[in-house]
Structure 1
Amino acid sequence: MEIEIATIGGYEEVGRQMTAVRAGNDVVIFDMGLNLSKVLIHDNIQTENMHSLDLIDMGAIPDDRVMSDLDGDVQAIVPTHGHLDHIGAISKLAHRYDAPVVATPFTLALVEQELEDEDKFSSDSDLVEMDPGESMTIGDHGCELEFVNVTHSIIDAINPVLHTPEGAIVYGLDKRMDHTPVIGDPIDMKRFREIGREGEGVLCYIEDCTNANKKGRTPSENVAREHLRDVLYSMEDYDGGIVATTFSSHIARVKSLVEFADDIGRQPVLLGRSMEKYSGTAERLGFVDFPDNLGMFGYRRSIDQSFERIMNDGKEDFFPIVTGHQGEPRAMLTRMARGETSYELDDGDKVVFSARVIPEPTNEGQRYQAEKLLGMQGARVYSDIHVSGHLCQEGHYAMLDALQPQHIIPAHQDLKGFSGYIDLASNQGYALGRDIHASSNGDIIQLV
């Protein structure tokens, strides 16, 4: 059986992930993501109203025209998790393919919302729910799709595995090796080891290289939780304002913030459209049980009313958890830093960033500006109360040892970002150009 892999997006940057695997006449697409930084550099742009070709030209979504060079039929579109750099282009591209979107429940709910918000295109794709540990048949030639549970900075993440007669294709984006997660099950290393040693083994491993140049091991989410607990408990006697921001999609982190707010005697309030979207969806699907006193407000009017109530009742009694961890221009924290809300920041007020800057120039510049504006208002900024959602080098070593793949394709970075992973794999006997395939967007790699 011929096996080809098209590296469509996310092989020259962090963002707009998309990869297609052809096994015989059957094609499976993994991820269809957005490069948000390409959107944020434009003022007041609304991607919902834009044509896919315009977004491709901007570099915001994958250029999927290489798909015409794959001689087969798309059988499934499989997003690995609900981050926008993995699902943000489904509403723009899925209508081109007569294929179902197959994902875990939380991811599928977020995809459904993306499709509902889309104004330019309509998609008739079936939405098929599949849980970690389950499998489904792909095509009529002996291929099977399996979901292996992994841990990431969003709940319900998986690594999909396409089992073919020539061996397994493991799509390894995105994960960290967390054995004590705050929400959900640990990473299923037992299953990865089994896949590496059964049948024909692993033909190819496509791996996220976000932290491949960082030594050591990525800590568990429990480490971030305890760091956050220590920081917030140290503020228990402060009688001014305390504000926190984190990734809206990081439900485990939001859960910890909400719990610790109650511990220090403050009422938590989630503010921002994406905060309400992700946390509301997680609660509705039963992934988290928030307290009854938690307020969630996503629309501008209700947010402004919440700020007014906080200032009238006394900000020392509240704990706003807001959007804006990357300094996004229209996010809540950035508006607060500019003095565009009724929430008044005073000298000594605390602002906790429970997130690191995404390593991309637009984000770095915006975050720097937001922290400077907050400091100019007298706020005390606590940065980087966080652990990454991506493997560092020892995690990559453990995955190679578990899977023992014949071929490796680095992904989710540019060539500089691939370098640490290529060095690590070379030390394990792999060779660049032989079984390590450093690819670019739009390439097709023929493995069999």
Structure 2
Amino acid sequence: MEIEIATVGGYEEVGRQMTAVRAGDDIVIFDMGLNLSKVLIHDNLRTEGMHSLDLIDMGAIPDDRILSDLDGTVQAIVPTHGHLDHIGAISKLAHRYDAPIVSTPFTSALVEEEIDDEDKFHTDNDVVQMNAGGTMSIGERCELEFVNVTHSIIDAINPVLHTPEGAIVYGLDKRMDHTPVIGDPIDMKRFREIGREGEGVLCYIEDCTNANKKGRTPSEAVAREQLEDVMLSLEDYDGGIVATTFSSHIARVTSIVEFAERIGRQPVLLGRSMEQYSGTAERLGIVDFPDDLGMYGHSRSVDRAFERVMNEGKENYLPVVTGHQGEPRAMLTRMGRGETPYELYQGDKVIFSARVIPEPTNVGQRYQSEKLLGMQGARIYDDVHVSGHLRQEGHYQMLDALQPRHVIPAHQDMAGFSGYVELAGNQGYKLGRDLHVTSNGNTIQLVG
């Protein structure tokens, strides 16, 4: 069977992930993501009404026209998890393919919300739910499997396409977490089985976000301990405390909510995406928030919540807001500019339970946001966080578990690939032979 891989997007940057695997006459697409930095760099740009070709020209979504060169039929679109750099282009591109969108329940709900928000295109692809451990047939000779992984969002999986020539393991995005706060640990037992059964692993496509960093990525349980330490140290502080984190990081949000109540403050979730992700997780029964937890996404509702906090006393509340990357329209950035009813006073605390994404736009916006907050007297608690991506020791463990015959680094630019090229070389892989460093818009023929 001919096996060909099209590296459509996410091979020159962190963002707009999309990869297509052709096995004989059948094609499976993994991820259809957005490059947020290409959108955020423009003021008040709303992508909902934009044409896909304009977004492709901007570098905001993958240029999927390369798929016309693949001699096969798309059988499934498989987003690995619900982050926008993996699902943000589905509403713009999925309608071009007569194929279901197959994903875990939480990811499926987020995909459906993205489709509902779309103004330009009508997407009527079936959204099919499949849990970690599930399988489905792809054509007559291949099978799709979901393997549970841990990441900075719940319900993440690594999809595996089993072909007669061996398995294709799509390894974006994960960390090796054996003590997650929500959900099951990463299923390393299954990865080891896949590496040793049948024809083994033909190809492993790997997330290289932290491949230049030594050691291993800590568990979310470590971030929870850090957060607990910071927040309990503020128990006697009678001024304002504000926290921000990734809206999609439900485990982190639940920890912040729990510790806020422990120090006698009522948490309130503020911002459109904060309401979206936490509201969806609660609706699906994945988390059980306190009955009186307020979630407000609309700007008027948010401002009314801020007014209530100011009237009843900032010492009684802990707002959890969007804006950890300094996004221009996010709640924390508006607070820093003095555009909300919430007034920051000298000595007020702002907890960033997130690191800045290492991309120039984010770095600049985060710097500006922190400076604005500091000018109003706020004191910053920075990097109360652990990453959702493997460091070098995790990569060594995955290569040992899977023993792939070919490896394709992804989810970085060329400089970001360097650490992975070195460690893969230490494991016997060689550039141009079985280690394929590539770029967007290329195809790699593994079996002819």
Give the TM-score normalised by the residue count of structure 1: 1.00
Aligned length, in residue pairs:
447
- Correspondence for 1:231: 230
Equivalences for residues 273-312 of structure 1 within 5 A: 273-312=272-311
The one-letter amino acid paired with 2:114 is: E
CA positional deviation for 1:363: 0.2
- Correspondence for 1:211: 210
The one-letter amino acid paired with 1:30 is: F
The one-letter amino acid paired with 1:404 is: Q
Equivalences for residues 140-219 of structure 1 within 5 A: 140=140, 142-219=141-218
1:430 aligns with 2:429: yes
Instruction: Give the gaps of 5 or more residues in structure 2.
Output: none
Following the alignment from structure 1 to structure 2, what is the Cα–Cα distance between the partners of residues 90 and 207?
21
- Correspondence for 1:139: 139
The one-letter amino acid paired with 1:71 is: D
Equivalences for residues 297-336 of structure 1 within 5 A: 297-336=296-335
What are the Cα deviations for residues 91-120 of structure 1, in whole angstroms up to 9, with x where unaligned?
Answer: 000010000000000000000000000000
- Correspondence for 2:97: 97
What are the Cα deviations for residues 198-257 of structure 1, in whole angstroms up to 9, with x where unaligned?
Answer: 000000000000000000000000000000000000000000000000000000000000
What are the Cα deviations for residues 387-422 of structure 1, in whole angstroms up to 9, with x where unaligned?
Answer: 000000000000000000000000000111011001
Following the alignment from structure 2 to structure 1, what is the Cα–Cα distance between the partners of residues 107 and 247?
14
Following the alignment from structure 1 to structure 2, what is the Cα–Cα distance between the partners of residues 123 and 316?
46
- Correspondence for 2:15: 15
- Correspondence for 1:69: 69
- Correspondence for 1:47: 47
- Correspondence for 2:81: 81
- Correspondence for 1:241: 240
- Correspondence for 1:396: 395
- Correspondence for 1:377: 376
Following the alignment from structure 2 to structure 1, what is the Cα–Cα distance between the partners of residues 227 and 39?
31
> Which aligned segments of 4 or more residues in structure 1 are displaced greater than 2 angstroms?
none
The one-letter amino acid paired with 2:109 is: A
Following the alignment from structure 1 to structure 2, what is the Cα–Cα distance between the partners of residues 134 and 331?
37
Following the alignment from structure 1 to structure 2, what is the Cα–Cα distance between the partners of residues 341 and 46?
22
- Correspondence for 1:123: 123
What are the Cα deviations for residues 351-376 of structure 1, in whole angstroms up to 9, with x where unaligned?
Answer: 00000000000000000000011111
Following the alignment from structure 2 to structure 1, what is the Cα–Cα distance between the partners of residues 373 and 116?
36
Query: Secondary structure, in 3 states, of the residue corresponding to 2:169?
Result: strand
Following the alignment from structure 1 to structure 2, what is the Cα–Cα distance between the partners of residues 36 and 24?
34
Following the alignment from structure 1 to structure 2, what is the Cα–Cα distance between the partners of residues 414 and 380?
34
CA positional deviation for 1:124: 1.5
CA positional deviation for 1:123: 1.1
Give the TM-score normalised by the residue count of structure 2: 1.00
- Correspondence for 1:31: 31
The one-letter amino acid paired with 1:89 is: A
The one-letter amino acid paired with 1:363 is: N
The one-letter amino acid paired with 1:122 is: H
CA positional deviation for 1:191: 0.0
The one-letter amino acid paired with 2:45 is: I
The one-letter amino acid paired with 1:26 is: D
Query: Secondary structure, in 3 states, of the residue corresponding to 1:342?
Result: coil
Following the alignment from structure 1 to structure 2, what is the Cα–Cα distance between the partners of residues 69 and 439?
17
CA positional deviation for 1:163: 0.0
Query: Secondary structure, in 3 states, of the residue corresponding to 1:310?
Result: helix
Query: Secondary structure, in 3 states, of the residue corresponding to 1:424?
Result: helix
The one-letter amino acid paired with 2:87 is: I
What are the Cα deviations for residues 47-94 of structure 1, in whole angstroms up to 9, with x where unaligned?
Answer: 000000000000000000100110000000000000000000000000
CA positional deviation for 1:292: 1.1
Following the alignment from structure 1 to structure 2, what is the Cα–Cα distance between the partners of residues 33 and 280?
22
CA positional deviation for 1:296: 0.3
- Correspondence for 2:386: 387
- Correspondence for 2:405: 406
Instruction: Give the gaps of 5 or more residues in structure 1.
Output: none
The one-letter amino acid paired with 1:152 is: H
Following the alignment from structure 2 to structure 1, what is the Cα–Cα distance between the partners of residues 281 and 322?
17
Query: Secondary structure, in 3 states, of the residue corresponding to 1:168?
Result: strand
The one-letter amino acid paired with 1:374 is: L
Following the alignment from structure 1 to structure 2, what is the Cα–Cα distance between the partners of residues 374 and 415?
34
**Percent of aligned pairs with the same amino acid:** 83
Following the alignment from structure 1 to structure 2, what is the Cα–Cα distance between the partners of residues 180 and 43?
40
Following the alignment from structure 1 to structure 2, what is the Cα–Cα distance between the partners of residues 414 and 276?
32
